[in-house]
Structure 1
């Protein structure tokens, strides 16, 4: 009601002003143009009161509903009235600062490319444009060896040997899966990245692919080194990622068992966004295996374990005790190395023994040339392969691919 009164008053006042200007033009062309200026409008009203009084009366009539509406709004919602009168709504909305300072310019597949998200995790440097599950455009660089900051790397087109693999992909509006191209030599790459605590790298980036790929990218780059986020120097537990849940669970186990010696096994894959997640947790605490069924909930303070009432650790200065392993056990247990499951890996092996490849990263190439990459999340009842993918602020999603659509499957980790 108050807003309607204010709007009605403003409309009456506007009608009165228009009528007054029309009366001024009817008097003379000079007075008409002069009435468009407020000082001359007042002079016209005083000199030609008889002609102007009806328009001025309509203008004054508009003040009545306007004042009544403002009084009602002041009694009902004073903050709203203050916001309207301060004219803050005319100012452009302040944009939240970007998580990363990415100052790259270039093109991908002959289209402008301005990445909005960047990360270097498990030896894969990824630059993405777009917040959807599949990026509109993306560059991935798989480094041949695990590297730690500072990272300095230069590759020239004539270089040979063990070089990073570069993959570019783009998604067209009429396609379900992105198209991808990969090359392992014949390109120019320059990386000079320095550590930026707590979990970032920044520095120079330069990439030029052969002319047929239509891809160049150069500038300053800032990227994440894990899927954790920090706010004012503290971990942001409201961020949706597997790493955030693992940190929350590990902190919970340390406080519950009053020990810092906690070795948490990999958590089951979680699909985000979510507000409540049940987890079967397996961990070793002081060398003893613990199996717990926990429920994690996301509230105003971020992710936390349901019914968590355990106090902070009471061992601020104590050195955490390491589990004691007898010499006999250490001597009698031979060192075992895990076999490389990438050897002789195929689609048939995946379909026949899916449990051996659970949560491993793999790439699927479709018959139509499209590619999809993610962690293996199991098989559906009809034999379709389920892959899950984590994309920063976009969360985690799962999609399925039927074996009849697949050309080949590549395992990306042992």
Structure 2
């Protein structure tokens, strides 16, 4: 498929980019424009691995396609390096929202870790305020071009550090001022959500919603801890939940599966899975099933009734967009527009919004697809 990161694609004669979309798993430091990285790197005296935006774009793709989450995460040293001032954070957040709008997103949740952006002397709150300024500027810019978009912050703690309670309190303090949820990210294997139980207890006591990275670089124990210790309302990736499914028979008409208790709980409770197809291939998250998009257990999970959603994870590292991810899935599994709409409705239902706002978002999606 020739579609690039910012291109369009058609399905049943309809522009996928023009359809209303919901983006739940979208990292700010994974979506910085290469041209912006180079400008800021030059300004701050940071050495970049490439001299122009096209070459840097290719460098990210090469470095990220390692089959290892640990290696994949190393590319973020460059992006976070240029995100240490208020001006840089505001600019990058504004451009991020503009890129979401360009992708047809009408509601997005931007996840980012404040503790990674204080090396230049910013306080955690100054970083949050700078990001919120950028979000609002981006929303206004999109509105001026006739595209309504709303973006909330998912305040994220790094799972391999010891600041999660501090970050959880920061998130709650900014409820109503841009923060809509909490997450933990970073190296998953060896860092169970249980390590951050105190933070999750605090969030639960304050009725603040959480999504937890789980089931990407680690398996069922990580997912179980996300649900029990993290009280996760959504699973960040969650793709390895398919390890709890035993395919006992498969033919052209039907797949018969025996559910494990964990998989059945997630399916029956309609806990959304924030699946990121291209990223899952790059990091080796689906290595147990294969190395091509058609091997991704996305379709199995969808056919079995899980609340699957489609996400980009990191636009820059994966050179992708939500439009592109949807087209890749449609090509791999022969999905129709009805399927694409179902994925957006799942995401809208799982958004960290009040029920009235989720219902309004569902109407926007239904109307957009009907047109």
TM-score scaled by length of structure 1: 0.23
* Structure having greater relative contact order (Cα 8 Å, sep ≥ 6): 2
Larger radius of gyration: 1
What is the TM-score normalised by the length of structure 2?
0.25
Specify which structure has the higher proportion of strand.
Answer: 1
